[in-house]
C-alpha cells in the first residue's frame, strides 16, 4: 500500500469507527450483519450435528459455513488492522474467541485426508463459542456480574459445604444401598447425592432399600431448604446495591448513607463535596 | 330498529353498564354467569380430549359446547353493540381472544365434510384461550405485572446468559457422551442441558460416562446456585417498592425518590416540609 | 356422681389445668405422654401398611393400636368433661380431629363382618390426622401463618397465572406431541406441563419431537425464572415484618415508622403514647 | 525424654506454633501439606470404591493410603503432644474426627483374617470424614453459620410443617393409587410425597390414576410455592443483618438495635450521640 501514512491512519480511523463503534449508520449496519452472521453460524453448527438434517442439507450447510467463515476471517483481519496495538486485540478475550471460532473450518481442509474425525469434530464445535461474541452487545451484563462478584466469597463457601455434604452423604448411601441398587462406586454415589440435593432427580439411580429412601428423603428436604442460602445471599446483596447509598460522610454533620448522586446532605442540608 | 336515537343510546348505555361494569346487580349477575360459562367451557374442552370420556359422553359434550358457544356469540355481539367505537373492542386483546374462542365451533360445521381433522382439532383447542378472559376479574394482577416489568431487563439478561451457557455446555456434553448415551445431536444435548440446569431432570437422557457425570454435576450445582439470581432481582425489586424511598417531591426542585426520614432534598439542599 | 356441685367444678378446674395448660408438673406430664402416644400412633399406622411388617407383627400392632385408641378415647372424654361449654370443643377444629382419629378403630369392630375393606382401610388411615394435634405445641407456627396470610392474595394471583399457563401450554403440547409420545389427553398434558413448570420432572411423560422439546425447554426456563415471583413476594413480606416498624405517628413531630415497642420518638425524643 | 522441663515446654510451644497457627513459614508449610494430604486421601477413598480402578491400581492405592495414614497418625500424636491439656483436644469435635479418620486403616490389619468385610468397608469409609478438617481453613463459614442459627427456629417449624404435609399427602395417595401403581405402603408413599414436594421427581414412582395425577399436581404447585418460605426467612435474616439497625448502644439505658439515623433512643428518649 503506497498511500501516505496520513491517509492510512484516517482509513484505520474510519475502520475503527465502523467496527468498534455503533454510532454511525455504517457502524450500526456492521453490527447488525455480524449479529445475524453469529446467530446463523450457531444455528448451522447445531443443525449439522443432527444426522437426518446433515444427510439432506449437508451440501448447503457446508457452503453456508464457508461463507460465514470467510466473513469472520475478514472481520478478524479488519479488527487487527484497525487498532493501533494489534497484539492487544489478538491476546484479548474476544481476540482469542474470534480466532478459535474461525480457524476450525480451515483446519478441516488440511485434516480431510487423515481420519482423526473425533478431534476434527471437536475443533469444528469450537465455533459455538462465537455465541460469546454476543455478550459484547449487552451493557446490563456488567452490572449483573459486579453484583455476583460481591457475593462471590459467600457463594463459594456455600458451594464448598454442599460439596462436602454430597461426598459424605454419597459415601453413606454407597454403604447402605450397595451396587445392587446402582450405587456401584463412591464417585457414582456422590453424583447421585448431587442429583438429589440439587432437586434435579433424574431417576437413573434411585434408592431401593427403606433406609436408603429415608436418607434420600432427608437429603431432599435438606436440598429444598438450603437453596434458601445462596438466594438469601444474592437477595441481600441486590437489595443493598439497590438502596443506592454510599459510605461518604457529610462534612458538616458527618451523616453517612447518602443516596448515590446526592449533592446535599439529607440531614443538615449541607453541600456534599464529591 | 326504528327506535329514536336517544332511546338506542340509553339502551346501549344500559348494556354497557351490565357488560363492562360490575356495580349494579344485573352487572354482577352477568359477570358470574360468564365466569361459570368460561370455566365450564374449559372443562368441556379438556374432557373432550380424553378418549374414554368422549366415547361415552360425546353427545352431551357436543350439545353443551353449542350452548356455551351461542352464549359467547351473544356476548360478543352485545359487547360490539354496547361500545361507542366497536372497532376498538374488536381489535383489542380481549376482542381477539373473544373471537378466536367462539369461531372454531362454527368452523367445525363447515369443515365437517373435509377430513382435515388435525387442523380442525387445533382450531377447536383455541377455545382454551377463553381462560385468559378470567384475567379481567383480577385487579391484583396489574400490580404484579408492573413489578415484573421493572425487573424485565435484568431477567432478560439473565435468561440470555442461561441460554448461552446451555448451548456451550450442551455442545461439550455432545462431544463427551456421544450418541450411544442419547446425546444424538447438539440441539438434543442443549435440550438436556436446559433440563439439567433448570433442575427439572426428566431422566429421559442421562450421562453415562464418568466425565459426563462430573460435568453434569457441575451443571446441576450451577443451576442450583444461579436460580438465586432471578430470585434476588425480583426480591430486591419488591423490597424496593415497599420501603426505603417515598414519593414526596421536593418543593424547590421537584426531585422525588427521597430516603425515608430525609429532612433536606438530596439534590438542591432545600428543606423538605413533611 | 353424687358429689356436691362445688367439688365437681373444682375437679373440672383441676382437669382443665392438667389437660389444657402446661404450667403444672402434672400438666407437663400429660402433654409429654400425649406427644409420645401421637408419634407412636402415626408410626404404627405407617408400619401397618407395610405388607411384610404387618404379616410378622400384625398381632402386636393391633394390640398397640387398641391401647392407644383407648388412651385417646379417655383423653377425648376428659376434654369434653373439663370444659364449661363442651359443644364448643366438640365442634372446634381439634375436637373434630380428635374424634376422627379415634373412631375408626371402633368402627373396625362393627364392620369386621362386612368385606368393605377399602372403605375400612380409608377410615383407619384417618388416624394419621392425629399428627395435626402436634401443631398445638408450636407457638412459632402462628407467626409464620400470619406472614403467609399477608402475602396470600399475591400468591393466589401468582398460582392462578401458573394454572392458566399450564392449561394453555398443556393444550399446545397435546396438539404438537399427540398420543404417540404419551400426551394422550389435555388433562394429562396439563399434568405434564405442571410437572415441567414446577421443575419436578418425573420423566414418566417426556416430549419426543424436536418442536415439543423446544417448547418444553421454554417451559422449563419459564418455570426456573418465575419461581422468583412467590419467593420475592414472601421475602419482601418477611423483610417488611422484620423491620418491626408500625404506622403510629409521633404526637410531637409526626414522624412515623417507629420500631415496634418504641416508647420514645427516634427523631425528637418525645414520648409516644401507645 | 530426659530434657529439662523448660526446654520441653519451648519445644511444645514451637510445635503448637507450627500445627495450630499459620503465621510462620513452617506453620504455613504444615497447613499446605496437610491440605494436600486430606484431598489426596479423599480422592484415594473414592477411587478405591471404583471396581475397575481398584483392580488395576489396588496395590498403589494401598501403599498411598498407608503413607497418608502414617502421616495423619503423626499429626494426631503431635497435636496431642503440643497442647497443654491433651484431653481437651482428644474429645473435641476435630479430635474425634482426626481419630476416626486414622484408625480404620490400622483396624484393617487386625480384621484381615476375619471375613466381616461389610463392617470393615464401613470403617474404611470413615476416612471420608477427613474432609471436615477442611472446614478449619474457612473463616467465612462461621459468619454463614451464625446467619443460619438466627433463622433456625423458623426453618425448623417450616420443615415440621413440610413433614406433616408429606405424611398426610402420602397417606391420601396410598389410598387413591394403591400398590398397583407403586404406592405399596404408607412409608413409600410418604417418600414419594417428599420426592414430589421438594421438586426432585425421580420418576421411580409416579401416579397412574387421573385423581392421583390431580393431587400430584396440587402437591407440585404447593412445593413450587412454599419453597418461597425458607428463602424468604433467610433473605429477610440476611437483609436485616446488613441494614436497618445498628449496634450503637444508648448512653443512658444501654439499649441497642437502633434504627439507622435515629437521633433519640427509642426506649428512654435520651439523645444518641453519634
Asked if D73 contacts D102 with a C-beta cutoff of 8 angstroms, the reply is yes
Annotate D107-152 with DSSP letters as a single string. HHHHTTSS--HHHHHHHHHGGGGGGGGGGGG-SHHHHHHHHHHHTH
Q: Do C186 and B162 touch (CB under 8 A)?
A: no
CA D15 distance to own-chain centroid = 29
Name chain A's partners: 3 or more CB pairs within 8 A: B, C, D
Average pLDDT taken over every residue of chain A: 77
Q: Do B220 and A194 touch (CB under 8 A)?
A: yes
Name chain D's partners: 3 or more CB pairs within 8 A: A, B, C
Domain residue limits, chain A? 2-137, 150-240
Three cell numbers written together for C72 = 385417646
Q: Do D203 and B202 touch (CB under 8 A)?
A: yes
Asked if B89 contacts B83 with a C-beta cutoff of 8 angstroms, the reply is yes
Three cell numbers written together for C168 = 394453555
Q: Which of these, A192, C211, B68, lies nearest to D200 by C-alpha position?
A: A192
Does C144 have pLDDT greater than 80? no
pLDDT tens-digit series, residues B172-210? 898 888 888 889 888 999 999 999 999 998 888 889 888
Where b means 16+ CB within 10 Å and e means fewer, C82-95 reads bbeeeeebeeeeeb
C210, C216, C231: residue with CB nearest B235: C231
Three cell numbers written together for D213 = 395425577
Least trusted range by pLDDT, from B23-32, B81-90, C133-142: C133-142
Compute the average pLDDT of residues A128-150: 65
pLDDT tens-digit series, residues A147-176? 667 777 777 778 888 888 898 899 889 888
Does B4 have pLDDT greater than 60? no
pLDDT given for residue B156 in this prediction: 78
**In this complex, is the C-beta atom of C224 within 8 Å of any C-beta atom belonging to chain A?**
no
DSSP collapsed to 3 states, chain A = CCCCHHHHHHHHHHHHHHHHCCCCHHHHHHHHHHHHHHHHHHHHHHHHCCHHHHHHHHHHHHHHHHHHHHHHHHHHHHHHHHCCCHHHHHCCHHHHHHHHHHHHHHHHHHCCCCCCHHHHHHHHHHHHHHHHHHHHHCCHHHHHHHHHHHCHHHHHHHHHHHHHHHHHHHHHHHHHHCHHHCCCCHHHHHHHHHHHHCCCCCCCCCCCCHHHHHHHHHHHHHHHHHCHHHHHHHHHHHHHHHHCEECCCCCCCCCCCEECCCCECCCCCCECCC
Residues in chain D closer than 8 A to A175 (CB atoms): 121-122, 125
Q: Do C238 and D227 touch (CB under 8 A)?
A: no
Dmax (CA) for chain B in angstroms is 84
> CA-CA distance, B120 to B131, in Å (whole number)?
20
> CA-CA distance, C51 to D184, in Å (whole number)?
8
Does D204 have pLDDT greater than 60? yes
pLDDT grade, residue C1 (50/70/90)?
very low
> CA-CA distance, C64 to C40, in Å (whole number)?
9
pLDDT given for residue A233 in this prediction: 80
Residue listed under C-alpha cell 413433614: D163
Q: State how far residue A273 is from chain D, nearest Cα, in angstroms.
A: 21
Dmax (CA) for chain C in angstroms is 84
**In this complex, is the C-beta atom of D245 within 8 Å of any C-beta atom belonging to chain A?**
no
Dmax (CA) for chain D in angstroms is 84
pLDDT tens-digit series, residues C42-59? 888 888 888 888 889 888
Q: State how far residue C8 is from chain D, nearest Cα, in angstroms.
A: 38
Higher pLDDT, D133 or B238: B238
> CA-CA distance, A248 to A254, in Å (whole number)?
9
Q: Which one of A182-186, D22-26, D115-119, D260-264 scores highest in mean pLDDT?
A: A182-186
Q: How large is the ipTM?
A: 0.77
- Which CATH number applies to B2-137: 3.40.50.10210, 3.30.200.20, 1.20.120.350, 3.40.640.10? 1.20.120.350
State what percent of residues in chain B have pLDDT above 90. Answer: 8
> CA-CA distance, D173 to D218, in Å (whole number)?
12
Three cell numbers written together for D57 = 491400581
Q: Do D199 and B199 touch (CB under 8 A)?
A: yes
Compute the average pLDDT of residues A243-255: 58
Average pLDDT taken over every residue of chain D: 77
**In this complex, is the C-beta atom of D49 within 8 Å of any C-beta atom belonging to chain A?**
yes
DSSP collapsed to 3 states, chain C = CCCCHHHHHHHHHHHHHHHHCCCCHHHHHHHHHHHHHHHHHHHHHHHHCCHHHHHHHHHHHHHHHHHHHHHHHHHHHHHHHHCCCHHHHHCCHHHHHHHHHHHHHHHHHHCCCCCCHHHHHHHHHHHHHHHHHHHHHCCHHHHHHHHHHHCHHHHHHHHHHHHHHHHHHHHHHHHHHCHHHCCCCHHHHHHHHHHHHCCCCCCCCCCCCHHHHHHHHHHHHHHHHHCHHHHHHHHHHHHHHHCCEECCCCCCCCCCCEECCCCECCCCCCECCC
pLDDT given for residue D152 in this prediction: 74
pLDDT given for residue D274 in this prediction: 46
Least trusted range by pLDDT, from A54-68, A225-239, B74-88: A225-239
pLDDT grade, residue A109 (50/70/90)?
confident
Compute the average pLDDT of residues B57-74: 88
Start-to-end CA span in chain B (Å): 61
Asked if C255 contacts C267 with a C-beta cutoff of 8 angstroms, the reply is yes
pLDDT grade, residue D133 (50/70/90)?
low
Higher pLDDT, D191 or D103: D191
Least trusted range by pLDDT, from B122-126, B161-165, B185-189, C210-214: B122-126
Asked if D207 contacts D219 with a C-beta cutoff of 8 angstroms, the reply is no
Q: Is A269 left (phi over 0), alpha (psi -120 to 50) or beta?
A: left
Does B242 have pLDDT greater than 50? no
Does A228 have pLDDT greater than 80? yes
Q: Which one of A128-137, A147-156, D256-265 scores highest in mean pLDDT?
A: A147-156
Residue listed under C-alpha cell 503413607: D67
Q: Do C164 and B129 touch (CB under 8 A)?
A: no
CATH topology classification for D150-240: Helix Hairpins (1.10.287)
> CA-CA distance, D20 to D30, in Å (whole number)?
9
The secondary element (H helix, E strand) that includes residue B246 is: strand B245-246
Least trusted range by pLDDT, from B248-252, D80-84, D180-184, D193-197: B248-252
B196, B229, B269: residue with CB nearest A264: B269
Average pLDDT taken over every residue of chain C: 77
- CA–CA distances in Å: residue D38 to residues A98, B40, D133: 41, 65, 8
pLDDT given for residue B193 in this prediction: 94
What contacts D16, CB < 8 A, 6 or more positions away?
A: D82, D83
pLDDT grade, residue B1 (50/70/90)?
very low
Compute the average pLDDT of residues D236-244: 60
- Looking at chain C, which residue has its C-alpha nearest residue D196? C200
pLDDT given for residue B243 in this prediction: 43
**In this complex, is the C-beta atom of B87 within 8 Å of any C-beta atom belonging to chain D?**
no
Burial degree of A207 (CB within 10 A; 0-12, 13-18, 19+): buried
pLDDT grade, residue A192 (50/70/90)?
very high
Query: From the CB of residue D223, how many other CB atoms can be counted at a distance below 10 Å?
Result: 26
Higher pLDDT, C130 or D193: D193
State what percent of residues in chain B have pLDDT above 70. Answer: 69
Does D160 have pLDDT greater than 60? yes
State what percent of residues in chain A have pLDDT above 90. Answer: 8
A203, A214, A232: residue with CB nearest D204: A203
The reply to whether B2-137 and B150-240 are identical in fold is: no
Q: Do C202 and A203 touch (CB under 8 A)?
A: yes
> CA-CA distance, D174 to C6, in Å (whole number)?
51
Compute the average pLDDT of residues A107-125: 60
> CA-CA distance, A52 to A56, in Å (whole number)?
6
pLDDT grade, residue A3 (50/70/90)?
very low
A131, A198, A204: residue with CB nearest B221: A198
Three cell numbers written together for A147 = 453484583
Amino acid at each position: 500500500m503506497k498511500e501516505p501514512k496520513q491517509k492510512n491512519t484516517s482509513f484505520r480511523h474510519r475502520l475503527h469507527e465502523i467496527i468498534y463503534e455503533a454510532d454511525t449508520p455504517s457502524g450500526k449496519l456492521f453490527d447488525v450483519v455480524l449479529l445475524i452472521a453469529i446467530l446463523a453460524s450457531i444455528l448451522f453448527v447445531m443443525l449439522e450435528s443432527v444426522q437426518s438434517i446433515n444427510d439432506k442439507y449437508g451440501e448447503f450447510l457446508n457452503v453456508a459455513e464457508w461463507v460465514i467463515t470467510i466473513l469472520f476471517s475478514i472481520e478478524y483481519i479488519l479488527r487487527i488492522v484497525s487498532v493501533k496495538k494489534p497484539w492487544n486485540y489478538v491476546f484479548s478475550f474476544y481476540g482469542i474467541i474470534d480466532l478459535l471460532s474461525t480457524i476450525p473450518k480451515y483446519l478441516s481442509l488440511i485434516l480431510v485426508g487423515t481420519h482423526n474425525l473425533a478431534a476434527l469434530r471437536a475443533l469444528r464445535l469450537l465455533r459455538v463459542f462465537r455465541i460469546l461474541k454476543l455478550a459484547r452487545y449487552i451493557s446490563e451484563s456488567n452490572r449483573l456480574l459486579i453484583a455476583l462478584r460481591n457475593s462471590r466469597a459467600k457463594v463459594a463457601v456455600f458451594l464448598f459445604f454442599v460439596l462436602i455434604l454430597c461426598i459424605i452423604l454419597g459415601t453413606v448411601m454407597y454403604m447402605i444401598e450397595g451396587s445392587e441398587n446402582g450405587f456401584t462406586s463412591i464417585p457414582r454415589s456422590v453424583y447421585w447425592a448431587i442429583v438429589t440435593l440439587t432437586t434435579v432427580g433424574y431417576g437413573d439411580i434411585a434408592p431401593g432399600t427403606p433406609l436408603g429412601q429415608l436418607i434420600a428423603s432427608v437429603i431432599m428436604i435438606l436440598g429444598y431448604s438450603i437453596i434458601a442460602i445462596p438466594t438469601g445471599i444474592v437477595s441481600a446483596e441486590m437489595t443493598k446495591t439497590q438502596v443506592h447509598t454510599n459510605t461518604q460522610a457529610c462534612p458538616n454533620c458527618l451523616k453517612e448513607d447518602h443516596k448515590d448522586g446526592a449533592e446535599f446532605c439529607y440531614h443538615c442540608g449541607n453541600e456534599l463535596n464529591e
